[in-house]
Amino acid sequence: MRRTNRGAGQINSGSMADIAFLLLIFFLVTTQIATDKGILIRLPPKPDPNEPPPDIKFNQRNIFKILINSQDKLLVEDEPLYDVSLLKDMVKKFVLNNGKDPNLSDSPSDAIVSIKADRGTSYDIFISVYDQCEAAYNEMYGEKVGLTAEEFRKLDRGDPDQKKLYDRAREIDENGKPQFPKQISIAEPTKYGGS
């Protein structure tokens, strides 16, 4: 018998690209870039039940009060505020007052921004208010070391040079305590609006 030798068998690879494309498109569509970004906060530790809560008298002028009711309306320093984006400059003015205006803070280290929401407040408005306060502080820090708020936020504290800038902006003293701390407090919400 004679075999018909037609040479090495070849697989038609012309459609290989098509198959690869198909897979590629599948992964393109299903990929979601991980979004682990957000506003990082540190909760205060749980109060010790054996110790009475420390009775600290705050001077009223040093607290910047932001109230949000269940209708998502804002009351800032006892005045209604309709535009959340104005909040940033108000916070900055309050913190950087240094005792000039008797209604605003004594010094940046005393200034506290207090956000008090209601149980019926929407999370959306709360985040935008908190974001404004963060932005105010980031801008103030940035201005002190000649960066924009954006650049300041991206400072990497692992890098010694950048950490120096960061510490300078926050005026870290020899005990490691910032003299220009970021004090944004989230108060226990009121219950008027129901849950």
Contacting residues toward another protein, per CB under 8 A: 13, 16-17, 20-21, 23-24, 27-28, 30-46, 117-124, 126-128, 130-131, 134-135, 138, 149, 153, 188-189, 195
Is the Cβ of residue 61 or residue 153 nearer to another protein in the bound state?
153
- CA dihedral sign of residues 127, 129, 132, 134: negative
AA identity, residue 100: K
Give the integer Cα–Cα distance in Å for 180 and 57: 20
Is the Cβ of residue 27 or residue 82 nearer to another protein in the bound state?
27
- Shortest Cβ distance from residue 2 to another protein (Å)? 34
Give the integer Cα–Cα distance in Å for 165 and 48: 36
- Shortest Cβ distance from residue 29 to another protein (Å)? 10
Length of the chain: 195
Is the Cβ of residue 106 or residue 145 nearer to another protein in the bound state?
145
Is the Cβ of residue 106 or residue 131 nearer to another protein in the bound state?
131
- Crossing angle of helices 123-144 and 87-95, in 10° steps, is 50
Q: What is the largest CA-CA distance in the chain?
A: 112
- Shortest Cβ distance from residue 54 to another protein (Å)? 17
- Shortest Cβ distance from residue 175 to another protein (Å)? 21
